[in-house]
């Protein structure tokens, strides 16, 4: 996977986190929460698939552990949230229809018996949410460790990503204490802020190298012309007749001037003409 494809995968990861955070606003609304939770789970499964593609290239154990734990936590919490929403819907239905509505036997059962199914559903839902949140704490811890170790991959928003993972971990920790009711509200706020903070990974810019561009100087190759191993060819030089005639006016041996018609030098006796 090239660096540009890897960056695109991280951008998609951040955008899906932002969508999951937006759906977090809707899960507190009765009845609408069913659809919001379902869409949220689908987005989480797609997000996990993107992380699987990313980790094929990176092969990071922290990222692999986060993927497994986050998926498991999301499924458990999804079931727990559905159970809690059913319990809430039943509770609202009782107060809306009344204790003596058509859905209750006559003579009416004691209130404790009547509310027993709702109480059981609330208990099961809270247990599932606590178990899922416990798994989620480890998931966000794994993601934080990965970002800290690979902070150079997120030069612009690395600190925001670490802060977002930390807030999500805090939110999951508060949900473990959900039986106290108040931590659920505070944890929901931490989850909402954490998802939107972590989603800033989607705003990551391409890192361009700031090294100066090097210009390549032209290379000149000097080729020596081949030299011939043969002796130079000498061309005959023609000497004008007048120059040849003048050459014999002086003795070639002693340089004395000789008579034009003489055959021998008068000084040294050297023959100058045939």
Query: pLDDT tens for residues 262-274?
Result: 777 877 877 777 7
Hey, which residues does 257 pair with through a beta bridge? 250
CA dist 123 to 84, 126, 182, 248, Å?
A: 9, 5, 17, 142
Helix (H) or strand (E) holding 13: helix 3-26
In this prediction the pTM is 0.68
Query: pLDDT tens for residues 7-27?
Result: 888 888 889 999 999 998 888
Alpha helices in 59-155 (DSSP H): 61-97, 111-149
What averages of pLDDT result for each successive group of 10 residues across the chain (274 residues)? 74 90 85 87 93 90 94 95 87 66 54 80 93 95 93 84 94 88 90 92 56 44 49 48 54 77 77 74
Q: Cis before residue 107, ω within 30 degrees of 0?
A: yes
Q: Taking the domains of the chain in order of start, what are their residue ranges?
A: 3-203, 241-274
- Inter-residue contact 147 to 158 (CB < 8 Å): yes
Give the per-residue pLDDT at 3.
66
Give the per-residue pLDDT at 5.
79
Cβ-based burial of 239 (10 A; exposed 0-12, middle 13-18, buried ≥19): exposed
Give the per-residue pLDDT at 136.
96
Q: Which two tokens stand for residue 140?
A: 């966000």
């Amino acid at each position: 996977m090239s660096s540009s494809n890897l960056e695109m995968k991280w951008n998609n990861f951040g955008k899906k986190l932002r969508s999951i955070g937006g759906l977090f606003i809707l899960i507190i609304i009765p009845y609408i929460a069913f659809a919001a939770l379902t869409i949220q789970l689908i987005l989480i499964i797609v997000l996990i698939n993107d992380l699987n593609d990313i980790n094929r290239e990176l092969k990071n154990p922290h990222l692999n552990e986060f993927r497994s734990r986050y998926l498991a936590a999301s499924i458990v919490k999804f079931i727990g949230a559905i159970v809690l929403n059913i319990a809430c819907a039943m509770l609202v239905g009782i107060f809306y229809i009344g204790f003596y509505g058509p859905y209750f036997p006559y003579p009416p059962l004691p209130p404790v018996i009547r509310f027993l199914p709702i109480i059981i559903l609330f208990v099961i839902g809270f247990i599932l949410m606590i178990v899922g949140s416990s798994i989620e704490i480890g998931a966000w811890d794994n993601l934080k460790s990965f970002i800290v170790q690979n902070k150079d991959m997120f030069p612009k928003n690395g600190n925001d990503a670490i802060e977002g993972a930390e807030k999500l971990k805090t939110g999951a920790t508060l949900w473990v204490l959900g039986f106290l009711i108040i931590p659920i509200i505070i944890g929901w706020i931490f989850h909402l802020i954490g998802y939107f903070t972590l989603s800033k990974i989607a705003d990551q810019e391409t890192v361009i190298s700031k090294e100066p561009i090097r210009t390549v100087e032209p290379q000149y190759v000097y080729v020596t012309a081949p030299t011939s191993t043969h002796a130079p060819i000498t061309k005959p030089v023609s000497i004008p007749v007048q120059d040849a005639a003048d050459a014999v006016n002086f003795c070639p041996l002693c340089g004395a001037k000789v008579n034009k018609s003489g055959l021998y030098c008068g000084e040294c006796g050297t023959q100058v003409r045939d």
